Amino acid sequence: MIDLHAHSSASDGTEPPAGVVASAVAAGLAVVALTDHDTTLGWAEATDAARAVGITLVPGIEVSCSRRHRSVHLLAYLPDPADPVLVAELEQARDSRESRLDRMVARMAADGLPVSVESVRAEVEPGATAGRPHIADALVRAGAVADRDEAFARWLGDTSPYYVSHYAPDPVRAVEVVRAAGGVPVVAHPLSRTRTGVVTDDLLEELAAAGLAGIEARHRDHDPAAVRHLTDVARRLDLVVTGSSDYHGEGKPNRLGENTTDPEVLERIEALATGTEVVRP
Ligand code: AMP
Ligand code: FE
Ligand code: FE
Ligand code: ZN
């Protein structure tokens, strides 16, 4: 089984990179991709862990993108982690996420919610990409909610008055940057309804023209009609179709291997990549 979308504590997953690798083995996966938000911080630890336990690792990133206030997520497989343009884009997004988190926390604290910049920072591993789930974790620790899901439903959603956006590149630029870094761009969960807006067919066409390689069609947030639609669009635009879990440890109900990708699709992704090698046991 091949699962090409998982998060560690290098961003908003709850397990360290080596823990994600161990969980992948326990779930019976042959291949797992580590795709933390806007960072390659977890790659080194995951690589060592994968070699030690004998599982195949695909190093990746989930790049935050934004088009007209709508959030788009782009999976980038096997890019060169030292590519200066890619590094600069990711740094800018991570920096902006820091100040955005402080602004969200200030708004929430002013309204009497039990969070502070310090209590939220304490939930973020050193160097990790900060996100709303870390505010949720601080709220859970303070006893205000039972879990991340409740925190999002009450206060952290995209339409919440506390919501503040952060810098993220346009998805067309992100596709170009990932390609130029030798990576393989695959749009993540394009029809997820938990997002501010959905990715339209027109945008998928635009991204395909810019060098998009694939569409993550099989995902927990997609119903069967969405999967069918995205599979049709992928066929029309000559893109590969992937299926993945979007695992976040205990931070989400998503379980490793709940959606999987065909071996031929991984072969195609690997053939297109020139930035980094797949880590094989
Ligand atoms: P951010 O990147 O800071 O805008 O926060 C968005 C992230 O929060 C997404 O990548 C998800 O991993 C996570 N998320 C969104 N909705 C929920 C939810 N209901 N429960 C737990 N995590 C969520
Ligand atoms: Fe996430
Ligand atoms: Fe995502
Ligand atoms: Zn994700």
- pLDDT at 193 > cutoff 80: no
Specify the ligand 1 atom closest to the Cα of 251: 21
Do 8 and 138 lie in one domain? The reply is no
Site to substitute for ligand 1 among 8, 102, 129, 152, most atoms within 8 A of C-beta: 152
CA distance 56 to 78: 13
Range of the domain at 112: 100-156
Do 18 and 124 lie in one domain? The reply is no
* 131 Cβ closer than 6 Å to some ligand 1 atom: yes
Q: Please name the residue whose Cα sits nearest to atom 18 of ligand 1.
A: 149
Mean of the pLDDT values across residues 171-187?
Answer: 98
Do 129 and 181 lie in one domain? The reply is no
Instruction: Quote the distance between the C-alpha of residue 123 and its chain's center.
Output: 18
Q: 38 CA to middle of ligand 1, Å?
A: 14
Q: Please name the residue whose Cα sits nearest to atom 3 of ligand 1.
A: 131
- In a domain? residue 202: yes
- In a domain? residue 115: yes
- In a domain? residue 37: yes
Tens of pLDDT, residue by residue over 238-268, are 999 999 999 999 999 999 999 999 999 999 9
User: What is the structure's pLDDT at 69?
Assistant: 83
- In a domain? residue 106: yes
User: What is the structure's pLDDT at 198?
Assistant: 72
**């995209």: which residue's tokens?**
158
User: What is the structure's pLDDT at 104?
Assistant: 98
CATH number at residue 132: 1.10.150.650
* 251 Cβ closer than 6 Å to some ligand 1 atom: yes
- In a domain? residue 278: no
Q: Specify burial of residue 69 (Cβ count, 10 A radius: 0-12, 13-18, 19+).
A: exposed
* 148 Cβ closer than 6 Å to some ligand 1 atom: yes
User: What is the structure's pLDDT at 70?
Assistant: 86
Do 51 and 122 lie in one domain? The reply is no
Do 82 and 108 lie in one domain? The reply is no
3-state secondary structure of 47: helix
Q: Please name the residue whose Cα sits nearest to atom 2 of ligand 1.
A: 131
**Of 138, 156, 174, at which residue does a domain stop?**
156
Do 42 and 180 lie in one domain? The reply is yes
Tens of pLDDT, residue by residue over 138-173, are 999 999 999 999 999 999 999 999 999 999 999 999
Q: Please name the residue whose Cα sits nearest to atom 11 of ligand 1.
A: 133
* 13 Cβ closer than 6 Å to some ligand 1 atom: no
* 149 Cβ closer than 6 Å to some ligand 1 atom: yes
- In a domain? residue 281: no
Do 77 and 105 lie in one domain? The reply is no
Do 105 and 143 lie in one domain? The reply is yes
Do 147 and 221 lie in one domain? The reply is no
CA distance 209 to 239: 11
CATH number at residue 83: 3.20.20.140
Contact between 245 and 254 under an 8 Å Cβ cutoff? The reply is yes
Do 65 and 182 lie in one domain? The reply is yes
Specify the ligand 1 atom closest to the Cα of 133: 8
User: What is the structure's pLDDT at 172?
Assistant: 98
Do 65 and 109 lie in one domain? The reply is no
Count of structural domains, the chain: 2
Percent of the chain with pLDDT over 90: 96
Confidence of residue 232 (pLDDT cuts 50, 70, 90): very high
Confidence of residue 197 (pLDDT cuts 50, 70, 90): low
Where b means 16+ CB within 10 Å and e means fewer, 228-252 reads ebbeebbeebebbbbbbbbbbbebb
CA distance 199 to 255: 24
Do 187 and 117 lie in one domain? The reply is no
- In a domain? residue 279: no
User: What is the structure's pLDDT at 195?
Assistant: 57
Mean of the pLDDT values across residues 54-81?
Answer: 96
- In a domain? residue 221: yes
Contact between 21 and 49 under an 8 Å Cβ cutoff? The reply is yes
Write down the mean pLDDT value for the chain: 97
Q: 156 CA to middle of ligand 2, Å?
A: 13
3-state secondary structure of 256: coil
Mean of the pLDDT values across residues 107-135?
Answer: 98
Strand 56-67 relative to strand 70-77: parallel, antiparallel, unpaired?
antiparallel
Sign of torsion over alpha carbons 199, 202, 204, 206: negative
Contact between 13 and 20 under an 8 Å Cβ cutoff? The reply is yes
**Of 134, 156, 178, at which residue does a domain stop?**
156
